[in-house]
Structure 1
Amino acid sequence: MTRHVVVIGGGILGLAVANELSTRGIRITMLEKEDRWAAHQSGHNSNVVHAGLYYKPGSAKARMSVRGNKSIVDFARKHDVPVEVCGKLVVATSESELPALTVLAERAEANGVPARMIGPDEAREFEPEVACVRALRVESTGIIDFPAVCDVLARQLAEAGADLRLSTPAVAIRQRGTGVEVSTMDGSVLADALVNCAGLHSDRVARLAGLTPRARIVPFRGEYFTLRPDRSHLVRGLIYPVPDPTLPFLGVHLTRMLDGSVHAGPNAVLALRREGYRWRAFSGRDVLDVVRFRGTWKLARRFARTGYHEVRRSLSRKRFAASLARLVPAVRAEDLVRADAGVRAQALLPDGSLVDDFLIETAPHQVHVLNAPSPAATSSLEIAKHVADQVLA
């Protein structure tokens, strides 16, 4: 029987999995290499509670984000975590985008997402400064404080007696009879099972455990700006463009945060370090991992033009503002103030295709979450139930 599980990774997903297992009577040891929870993806994102309209019907992302939208909001309200279900607009700014917007509306209906098509006049009732020919109004999208969710989960684990170890990276993983042994700089942990929720390093942890994961993590930095406080009135809620269906990224958008500030972004450029939140951040090991992986070169050939434009936008405040001005024409380059960036752990296959769904691989006494980018934070409580079921199967 599984009585003790070691969880690697102290972001929202690792904490949610640990908490779910703890509520089922499992003893938990949590290993996080940083000195705080939610140090990376969970603490460097736009804090949007996604509705679930973008994802292929029947996919894990579609199922878990729709359920997760409700469960994470309920969790936040129960534990006094700041949350606001404000809805959003996905706007078509030209007639050429209308077919894609229609497909998105059909996908929303298939996934059970409350959404409706509206005209430009009604769109301006929600967002007076928006420019569009049509828009999709999505009612269940919200804004939340994901780091605060992590704090609550960590507190619940501590109260339940979990062994929570910050500043404790896993350095070796070995199969030991009917369980696993995870070595750290402070000694070893013997457990009945291992769950890998290491995010940006999930593929490396899997290899450390003896697996050959079929996907490689490639880091993409998402860069943000905020609107100057005197220009924040331009956006009341969330305004998104019609996404490019060939890419996993939603395009730069405008998001009013819980504190009233307006975030703009993110773009998506290849990071030169897995935790590369700035252009100057560089890791030879991380770059070699990317360069030596054949999937990287196949991806580059497919999206060379897109990558070129993303880099140009990254280097030019004027170009970034121009992308935002397609949605809200009043936005100008001088309105933008540089904000903290995030890094997306995107799983890439050897054929150069981006993994577009959650990816979980298992081995005896091991579960490895190898692709859990957005909407993983929204879906975290639902993913946790699924992972816990696999651990205890």
Structure 2
Amino acid sequence: MVKVLVVGAGILGLATAARLVRRGDEVIVVDKELSVARHQTGRNSGVIHSGLYYAPGSLKARLGTAGAASMTAFAQDHGVAVRTCGKLVVAVDDAELPGLAELARRAVANGVPARLLDAAEAREYEPNVACVRALRVESTGIVDYVGVCEVLARQITDGGGQLRFGRTFHGARTVGGRVRARVDVTGDDGGTEREDIVADALVVCGGLHADRLADACNVVPQARIVPFRGEYFELVPDKADLVRTLIYPVPDPRFPFLGVHLTTMIHGGVHAGPNAVLALAREGYTWRDVNLADLRGSLSWPGLWRLGRRNIVPGAGEIVRSLSRARFAASLSRLVPGITAADLVPAPAGVRAQALRRDGSLVDDFLVQRADRQLHVLNAPSPAATASLEIAAHLESELDEVLADASV
């Protein structure tokens, strides 16, 4: 039996731990929060992505496409709310048609069920949409990801694994064929006590803190995390019937995000967003959340300035949209005319852990870095939640290879 310490009780850490428990490993999961899915997993729009956007042959494309099926099946099998509703990606003018055609090409290459529609056909799915053409993607869905995490947590504990919340992971070293980790335990009185955990292997799914946790394990990360906040609104109830499923724009190729979109939510209502602005803290969910150490780390990373220089115009537009609800509404009304600032009410924001290289290039694919008896997930942005069960299988294989190398 192998003893594995998993850091992080988001969907990736839980999916990986549940898989290792099922095969008989002794597993301990630690997280500084007091419950599952408190950050990226619990603050997204709940979309099961299809695998449409990603470069053919990439891990994102392969695991994302498979994940659309496996996540849907998992939710159905375990009574988690899920619905396969499909979505439209819409070109609102002729200038966006080449981008739409490229998405259609990627759909074919990635095995995603999709077809191009004219404007009249698109309005059969979304009567209020504005477009000249659209891509209908059948396998996109919506799900309760927190509910998925709760099921995974039960699978871990029912299988004999441990979930230890209120544990802040401070680092680890591989010494004498074992991983020796330091964890601080937060007590009911707010004080902390040190806890040392010794394991055969370490898997770190650190999300917003992934690079720092790698550093703390004496592993030089191949990229740095720069946090980008995604701000959301919801449509007021009397405007929710403007959207039946999901409506996305053709993404701007100059910018690494998908653009604001409209998403029906699994428990009702319509999500609108997100935009993307630099967060002033790694867990900075508003403009008021400022962590000087986090901000200094972002601003001192040369890659951020190089990325900014290449994206001045779209980046400035994101900031304006963040500060102006009217501008946010105007972006939405390109997709569905008639949406105004008065139709939007604030919803909880999320922060994306964007891995960025020194040269300013984004780490576009999932990135897992190996060390002696250690795995560090350094980049797992969208569609990581969709693909989490597939990523867990990938991490299991990577872990077996790391342990095999260690035994040589």
Q: Normalised by the size of structure 1, how large is the TM-score?
A: 0.99
Give the alignment partner of residue 338 of structure 1, picking from 346, 351, 376: 346
Kindly report structure 1 stretches of 4+ aligned residues shifted beyond 4 Å. none
Question: Distance in 1 between the 2:5 and 2:388 partners?
Answer: 18
Show the 5 A alignment for 1:97-116.
97-116=96-115
Checking the alignment, whether the CA contact within 8 Å between 2:235 and 2:345 is kept in structure 1 is yes
Provide the secondary structure at the position in 1 that maps to 2:385. helix
- Answering whether residue 324 of structure 2 is matched by residue 316 of structure 1, we say yes
- Answering whether residue 146 of structure 2 is matched by residue 138 of structure 1, we say no
Q: Which residue of 1 aligns with 2:313?
A: 305
Checking the alignment, whether the CA contact within 8 Å between 1:234 and 1:330 is kept in structure 2 is no
Residue type of the alignment partner of 1:329: P
Q: Which residue of 2 aligns with 1:202?
A: 210
- Answering whether residue 391 of structure 2 is matched by residue 383 of structure 1, we say yes
Provide the secondary structure at the position in 2 that maps to 1:224. strand
Question: Distance in 1 between the 2:23 and 2:398 partners?
Answer: 13
Give the alignment partner of residue 272 of structure 1, picking from 280, 296, 300: 280
Q: Deviations over 1:93-122 (max 9, x none)?
A: 001111110110010000000000001111
Checking the alignment, whether the CA contact within 8 Å between 2:46 and 2:266 is kept in structure 1 is no
Residue type of the alignment partner of 1:141: T
Checking the alignment, whether the CA contact within 8 Å between 1:221 and 1:344 is kept in structure 2 is yes
Question: Distance in 1 between the 2:237 and 2:321 partners?
Answer: 23
Give the alignment partner of residue 263 of structure 1, picking from 271, 286, 293: 271
Show the 5 A alignment for 1:38-117.
38-117=37-116
The alpha carbon displacement at 1:13 in A equals: 0.3
Q: Deviations over 1:100-154 (max 9, x none)?
A: 1011001000000000000111111111100000000000000000000000000
Give the alignment partner of residue 247 of structure 1, picking from 231, 252, 255: 255
- Answering whether residue 216 of structure 2 is matched by residue 217 of structure 1, we say no
Checking the alignment, whether the CA contact within 8 Å between 1:129 and 1:330 is kept in structure 2 is no
Residue type of the alignment partner of 2:203: V
Query: Please, what is the CA RMSD of the aligned residues?
Result: 0.8
- Answering whether residue 188 of structure 2 is matched by residue 189 of structure 1, we say no
Checking the alignment, whether the CA contact within 8 Å between 2:179 and 2:199 is kept in structure 1 is yes
Show the 5 A alignment for 1:149-168.
149-168=148-167
The alpha carbon displacement at 1:259 in A equals: 2.2
Residue type of the alignment partner of 1:54: Y
Q: Which residue of 2 aligns with 1:237?
A: 245
Show the 5 A alignment for 1:351-370.
351-370=359-378
Question: Distance in 2 between the 1:246 and 1:356 partners?
Answer: 14
Question: Distance in 2 between the 1:220 and 1:25 partners?
Answer: 38
The alpha carbon displacement at 1:172 in A equals: 2.8
Residue type of the alignment partner of 2:23: R
Q: Which residue of 1 aligns with 2:405?
A: none
Checking the alignment, whether the CA contact within 8 Å between 2:180 and 2:198 is kept in structure 1 is yes
> Which ranges of structure 1 fall in alignment gaps of 5 or more residues?
none
Checking the alignment, whether the CA contact within 8 Å between 1:8 and 1:196 is kept in structure 2 is yes
Checking the alignment, whether the CA contact within 8 Å between 1:84 and 1:143 is kept in structure 2 is yes
Checking the alignment, whether the CA contact within 8 Å between 1:31 and 1:168 is kept in structure 2 is yes
Question: Distance in 1 between the 2:314 and 2:338 partners?
Answer: 26
Provide the secondary structure at the position in 2 that maps to 1:320. helix
Residue type of the alignment partner of 1:9: G
The alpha carbon displacement at 1:245 in A equals: 2.5
Checking the alignment, whether the CA contact within 8 Å between 2:232 and 2:347 is kept in structure 1 is yes
Question: Distance in 1 between the 2:400 and 2:97 partners?
Answer: 46
Residue type of the alignment partner of 2:116: M
Question: Distance in 1 between the 2:267 and 2:166 partners?
Answer: 30
Provide the secondary structure at the position in 1 that maps to 2:212. helix
